[in-house]
């Protein structure tokens, strides 16, 4: 959501939100484009809904603070009607709660308006939980070959996303934020990629993805596309960075080739890590996944091993799988 959307909202609410935004950015610089960005986007969604539902009410007025438990419950119901899961509801409520906690710390209000005043969301087996899949080599190749034939249904960005998620095992936030200036086409990786918790890593890709990237660069040049972003969408004759929502929809579309209706980018990440772990062991898989929670050994291994060495080891493992 762009900041221009905020122009239609109440000035005082926008000002306090932007002050909060600036504060968050200063103290969470390393995770701004990944983890923390989600919280801020969730609060923006609430701000837009609050304006439509409560017109000219101020976020920090005495009346609003008194009614906030009921306001949050109304917002939860609104989100549920949109099809949001309980897990998503909890995340959105946390984003709002974080804002008010910040206001208390900055002496803008005296108390948190709904802390410990809402019934906790209870999770049952009936609640929708995202299915977990580990794709096989056969399934991976099936999607690759299907897109290669059905070129009218699937464009180059579809094909690159498929290969790059499986090649790099990066999270969606890292893939979405890739820029052309980070591309080292000859050596087979993107440099200075920001992952979760601010870790700077290399995003590897291999021969098939390399071929597709060359075609994509050629197509962009022929069409005169000058955007800095690797993955783009066109809106009103302007090329913009592809949103995470658009990326998820593309992966979901590819899942239907396999008869999977709820395929997510994170499934491809899990698949890639699992396949490497099965063949090359936990050490390489942890490095490949850019995990920091596998212990001191794994952490030091990532630091000491060069990007070229890791990539060469991955090539050997991938050849055993039949993915070149």
Residue 95 lies in a domain: yes
Is residue 166 within 8 A of residue 271, CB to CB? The reply is yes
The domain that holds 264 is classified in CATH as: 1.10.443.10
- Residue 207 above 50 pLDDT? yes
Whether residues 81 and 214 fall in one domain: no
Higher-pLDDT residue of 237 and 69 is 69
CA distance 80 to 231: 31
CA distance 94 to 75: 13
**Domain end call among 105, 123, 158:** 105
pLDDT at res. 107:
95
Q: Report the chain's C-alpha Rg in angstroms.
A: 22
With H, G, I as helix, E, B as strand and everything else as coil, classify residue 111: coil
Question: What are φ and ψ of residue 210, in 5° steps?
Answer: -60, -45
CA distance 121 to 282: 36
Among the listed residues 78, 80, 97, 96, the one whose alpha carbon sits nearest the alpha carbon of residue 88: 80
Residue 114 lies in a domain: no
**C-alpha angle 251-1-81 in degrees, rounded to nearest 5:** 70
Encoded tokens for 271: 């698949």
- Residue 297 above 50 pLDDT? no
Query: What residue numbers bound the domain in which 288 lies?
Result: 137-321
Residue 277 lies in a domain: yes
Encoded tokens for 145: 């070959």
Encoded tokens for 136: 């096989």
Residue 68 lies in a domain: yes
Encoded tokens for 22: 């600036």
pLDDT at res. 122:
65
- Residue 35 above 60 pLDDT? no
Higher-pLDDT residue of 297 and 136 is 136
pLDDT digits (tens, 9 = 90+) for 75-122: 999 998 988 888 788 888 888 998 999 999 999 999 999 988 887 766
**Domain end call among 85, 105, 125:** 105
Rounded mean pLDDT of 27-47? 71
Whether residues 315 and 197 fall in one domain: yes
- Residue 286 above 90 pLDDT? no
pLDDT at res. 296:
27
Is residue 230 within 8 A of residue 179, CB to CB? The reply is yes
- Residue 295 above 50 pLDDT? no
Residue 293 lies in a domain: yes
Rounded mean pLDDT of 45-57? 89
Q: Residue 294: which pLDDT band, with cuts at 50, 70 and 90? A: low
Q: Would residue 198 be called left, alpha or beta, if left means φ above 0 and alpha means ψ between -120 and 50 degrees?
A: left
Whether residues 194 and 289 fall in one domain: yes
pLDDT at res. 304:
45
Which residues 6+ apart lie within 8 Å of 190 measured at CB?
Answer: 168, 178, 182, 183, 184, 202, 203, 205
Looking at 187-256, list the stretches that DSSP marks H as alpha helix, in order from N- to C-terminal side. 207-223, 244-255
- Residue 300 above 50 pLDDT? no
CA distance 272 to 168: 8
CA distance 64 to 184: 52
- Which H or E run contains 203? strand 200-204
Q: Residue 290: which pLDDT band, with cuts at 50, 70 and 90? A: low
Q: What is the pTM of this model?
A: 0.62
Mean pLDDT of the chain, nearest integer: 84
Whether residues 156 and 87 fall in one domain: no
Whether residues 147 and 10 fall in one domain: no
**Domain end call among 60, 84, 105:** 105
| Least confident span in 94-108, 193-207, 292-306 | 292-306
Cα of first residue to Cα of last residue in the chain, in angstroms, is 38
pLDDT digits (tens, 9 = 90+) for 212-224: 999 999 999 999 9
Residue 115 lies in a domain: no
Rounded mean pLDDT of 280-309? 55
Higher-pLDDT residue of 283 and 21 is 21
CA distance 122 to 86: 8
Whether residues 237 and 291 fall in one domain: yes
What's the domain count of the chain? Answer: 2
Rounded mean pLDDT of 181-209? 90
| Least confident span in 1-5, 40-44, 145-149 | 1-5
Whether residues 237 and 277 fall in one domain: yes
Is residue 236 within 8 A of residue 229, CB to CB? The reply is no
């Amino acid at each position: 959501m762009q900041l221009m959307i905020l122009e239609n909202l109440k000035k005082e609410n926008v000002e306090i939100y932007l002050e909060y935004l600036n504060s968050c950015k200063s103290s969470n610089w390393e995770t701004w484009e990944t983890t923390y960005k989600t919280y801020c986007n969730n609060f923006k969604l609430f701000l837009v809904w609050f304006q439509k539902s409560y017109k000219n009410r101020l976020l920090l007025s005495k009346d609003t603070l008194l009614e906030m438990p009921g306001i949050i419950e109304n917002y939860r119901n609104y989100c549920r009607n949109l099809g949001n899961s309980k897990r998503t509801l909890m995340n959105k409520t946390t984003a709002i709660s974080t804002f008010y906690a910040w206001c208390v710390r900055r002496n803008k209000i005296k108390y948190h308006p709904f802390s410990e005043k809402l019934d906790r969301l209870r999770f049952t087996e009936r609640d929708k939980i995202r299915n977990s899949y580990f794709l096989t080599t056969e399934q991976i190749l099936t999607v690759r070959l299907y897109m290669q034939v059905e070129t009218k249904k699937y464009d180059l960005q579809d094909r690159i996303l498929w290969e790059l998620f499986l090649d790099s095992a990066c999270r969606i936030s890292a893939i979405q934020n890739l820029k052309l200036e980070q591309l080292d086409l000859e050596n087979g990786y993107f440099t200075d990629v920001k992952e979760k918790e601010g870790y700077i890593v290399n995003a590897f890709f291999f021969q098939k993805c390399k071929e597709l990237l060359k075609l994509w660069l050629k197509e962009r040049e022929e069409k005169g596309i000058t955007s800095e972003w690797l993955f783009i969408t066109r809106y009103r004759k302007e090329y913009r960075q592809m949103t995470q929502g658009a990326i998820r929809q593309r992966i979901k579309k590819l899942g239907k080739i396999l008869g999977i209706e709820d395929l997510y980018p994170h499934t491809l990440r899990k698949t890639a890590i699992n396949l490497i772990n099965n063949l090359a062991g936990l050490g390489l898989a942890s490095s490949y996944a850019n995990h920091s929670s596998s212990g001191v050994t794994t952490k030091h291994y990532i630091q000491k091993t060069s990007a070229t060495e890791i990539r060469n080891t991955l090539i050997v493992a991938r050849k055993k799988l039949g993915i070149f």
